[in-house]
Amino acid sequence: MSTVEKGQVMTANRLRDGDVVFLTRAGAWSEKIDDAVLALEPQAAAALEVRAAADVTSTLVTGPYLFDATRVDGKIRADHIRERIRTLGPSVRLDLGKQAEGTAGAFQAVEV
């Protein structure tokens, strides 16, 4: 039986190089969605917003926002297609981006 948890993940763009990043439990930013902390309660999501705002002030990231996601057996999948595409990289070129590098997480942009 699969373990499924629904919550929210904080994402942003790293200012140094523009890459899509996800906030981790340790308070760092990772390019891998599976490293992200999944906020299961509103208070946890609010804490992620506070941390992200501090990192905007520190000029580490820009444009942070929460999005709905699901963790299935330890792997995180964005619930909306927009964030799935941001996680994977270009949707028209599977040979580019995180999907080509094998660092895009366990899920594809669309269900097959």
| Residues 6 or more apart whose Cβ sits within 8 Å of residue 91 | 85, 109
Residue 17, exposed/middle/buried by CB under 10 A (0-12, 13-18, 19+)?
exposed
pLDDT of residue 84: 84
The residues near 92 (Cβ < 8 Å, ≥ 6 apart) are none
Instruction: Tell me, rounded to whole angstroms, the distance of Cα 48 from its chain centroid.
Output: 12
Going by pLDDT thresholds of 50, 70 and 90, the confidence category of residue 85 is: confident
112 falls in which pLDDT band (50, 70, 90)? very low
Q: Please report, for the chain, the start and end positions of each structural domain, with discontinuous segments joined by +.
A: 4-101
CA angle 27, 34, 52 (to 5 degrees): 30
For 11-54, the pLDDT digits (tens) are 999 999 999 999 999 999 999 999 999 999 999 999 999 999 99
Rounded CA-CA distance 24/17 in Å is 19
Tokens standing for 108? 């594809």
Residue 57, pLDDT > 70, answer: yes
